Amino acid sequence: MRTLKFLLQKEFKQIFRSKSIIFSIVFAPIIQLILMPLAANYDVKNIYVAFVDHDHSTYSQKLINRVYSSIYFKAAPYSASYDDAMHLIEQNKADIIVEIPQGFEDNLVRESHDKLYLAVNAINGTKAGVGSGYLGAIIRDFNQDIQMQWKQPGHFAEAQTIDVVTNNWYNPYMSYFLFMVPGLMVSLLTGIGAFSASLNIVREKEIGTIEQINVTPIRKYHFLLGKLIPYWCLGMIVFTIGMLVSRLVYGIVPVGSIPLLYGFLAVYLLTLLGAGLLISTYSDTQQQAVSVAFFFVLIFNFISGIFTPIDSMPEWAKALAYISPISHFAQVMRMVVLKGSTWPDVLPHLGAVFALGVVLNTWAVLNYRKTT
Amino acid sequence: MSEIAIKADKLTKKFDDFVAVDAITFDVKQGEIFGFVGANGAGKTTAMRILCGLSKPTSGSATVAGFDVYKETEKIKRNIGYMSQKFSLYDDLTVMENITFYAGIYGLSDKEIKDRGESLLSQLGISHEAKTFVASLPLGWKQKLAFSVAVIHEPKIVFLDEPTGGVDPVTRRQFWDLIYEAADRGITVFVTTHYMDEAEYCNRLTVMVDGKIDALDTPTNLKKQFSVDSMDKVFYQLARAAKRSGD
């Protein structure tokens, strides 16, 4: 125990004297947490719609006004022909073309139906899908209004359709931040934790002080604990800063229990830092350690479900996501922050992360050799 | 057993086909200053790393402070001090913090750390630098400090791997005063060097050439044996036959 005391004393002094560590622990997460959610935003807004109006009637004008009055759509420059509008798409000035045929108003009133032509730039699949969906809804609405207006009172029943009312649970205003910020916190914490832990032992290898350590009667697990505990504390600090930022900047208050989050975090950090230390024991230079850590952090971040749903991934990626502690922590964060999940809900995730932590840390202790 | 501090018998270390240390046999008496002299790449550091328990030998046997280099490396580590070629103190800790750290992990009590730390600093004449970061000390001071830290726990044996590399002659002389003081306290000193003036300071020394020990005796006897008047010439005669070069 006394040995550990001296190791910890030394590590903490070194950490608090290193400007780069303080930066990456205090300032980096604040800045990233403020900037990243703004950029990693899948809300589709500012869709440019180009109308090609061959009808020039009151109704076509009404439709156009209704579309442009929506917050999602913006007007692209006017075009006289479909070819004109196509140029706009090619120049990236328009995302959707709506072609209104000649005689639109007449046909609507007399025949009570007509066809519109929609052309969508589908390079960005999400924007195209969501955009044409919104646009379809507006046109349907418009159509219903006209039907109402022209139907005889007696035939009123015909216009009725089934209206589906959606109730958004857990995130009633569909706030993107509420979903994304807890996920990004996991991603940030993981990056900082994995990098700092994997760099640490390697740095001693590079400077040469590890030789001096290896020639002392220090025990391997003491040495690794001496490396793990300080970064575990730092992880707690980073997380706390993250929670404060999400509260103050995004107004996110976890529905579930905060001690539960910290409890899970405590185990998660052990696993994450174990992975970092393991990389450290295999690397000879800081460069090697960073490239390996980067490789794993990047892959596991992308399949973590933070940015895209795990359910829509192929089976092998799902399997990988199941092993990855990042996915478990991201899920638990969202479960607790958004839904208010409790211990029993979190337990399976905790078990998976803990088991992996035991494996990684044992592996690191075994692979760290004082004698070659 | 107390007579012999280090005993090596046909100690060999191979890296694939390369024989770094080739069946060396020697012993070092308690309290002796024993020199390991040789050109770069002769195998001095490899041999020393085996004796310190940092590296496992391929064949042969050796004991350090009575412990086996194959099975009892951790017991060896409790009885030795070591100063490597690479600088071994933490630059971002102060002088006193470095002393406290190393003394602490060797299990010294708080009082011992304080007392020995203070006497060490006054012996080196740097009591006023206790709170200076090691990074800002001149190299000569760093080396002397590193040595004092390596023997702070009063080990039975201290291993010094080219301890005076890059240090001016005056500081080197002072460094050897520290070595003599340690030897007077009964610490066995095992030192590698390629400075021939330092070879003269040793009680006994061996000259290592291409992983083998070519000569082992006191400096005086070696000079007699080769009928020359300086260690420089002894070394030159032996090292001329070397086939390896570089590090």
B136 contacts chain A (CB < 8 A)? no
The answer as to whether B35 is a domain residue is yes
B105 contacts chain A (CB < 8 A)? yes
B124 contacts chain A (CB < 8 A)? no
What is the per-residue pLDDT for A295? Answer: 93
Tell me the count of A-B CB pairs closer than 8 A.
77
| Residue spans per domain, chain A | 2-40+175-367, 47-159
* A30-63: pLDDT as tens digits: 888 888 887 766 667 788 888 888 888 888 888 8
Can you give chain A as a three-state secondary structure string? Answer: CHHHHHHHHHHHHHHHHCHHHHHHHHHHHHHHHHHHHHHCCCCCCCEEEEEEECCCCHHHHHHHHHHHCCCCEEECCCCCCHHHHHHHHHCCCCCEEEEECCCHHHHHHHCCCCCCEEEECCCCHHHHHHHHHHHHHHHHHHHHHHHHHHCCHHHHHHHCCCCCCCCCCCCCCCCHHHHHHHHHHHHHHHHHHHHHHHHHHHHHHHHCHHHHHHCCCCCHHHHHHHHHHHHHHHHHHHHHHHHHHHHHCCCCCCCCCHHHHHHHHHHHHHHHHHHHHHHHHHCCCHHHHHHHHHHHHHHHHHCCCCCCCHHHCCHHHHHHHHHCHHHHHHHHHHHHHHHCCCHHHHHHHHHHHHHHHHHHHHHHHHHCCCCC
What is the per-residue pLDDT for A330? Answer: 92
Q: Which residues of chain B have pLDDT under 50?
A: 1, 247
In CATH, the architecture of A47-159 is 3-Layer(aba) Sandwich (3.40)
The answer as to whether B110 is a domain residue is no
Which residue of A6, A10, A212 is in closest CB contact with B88?
A212
What is the per-residue pLDDT for A163? Answer: 61
The answer as to whether B58 is a domain residue is yes
CATH of the domain at B68: 3.40.50.300
- pTM score, two decimals? 0.80
B52 contacts chain A (CB < 8 A)? yes
What is the per-residue pLDDT for B245? Answer: 58
What is the per-residue pLDDT for B210? Answer: 86
Q: Which structural domain, as residue segments, surrounds residue B21? A: 4-89+157-239
Could you give the ipTM of this predicted complex?
0.85
What is the domain count for chain B? Answer: 1
Q: Which residues of chain A have pLDDT under 50?
A: 157
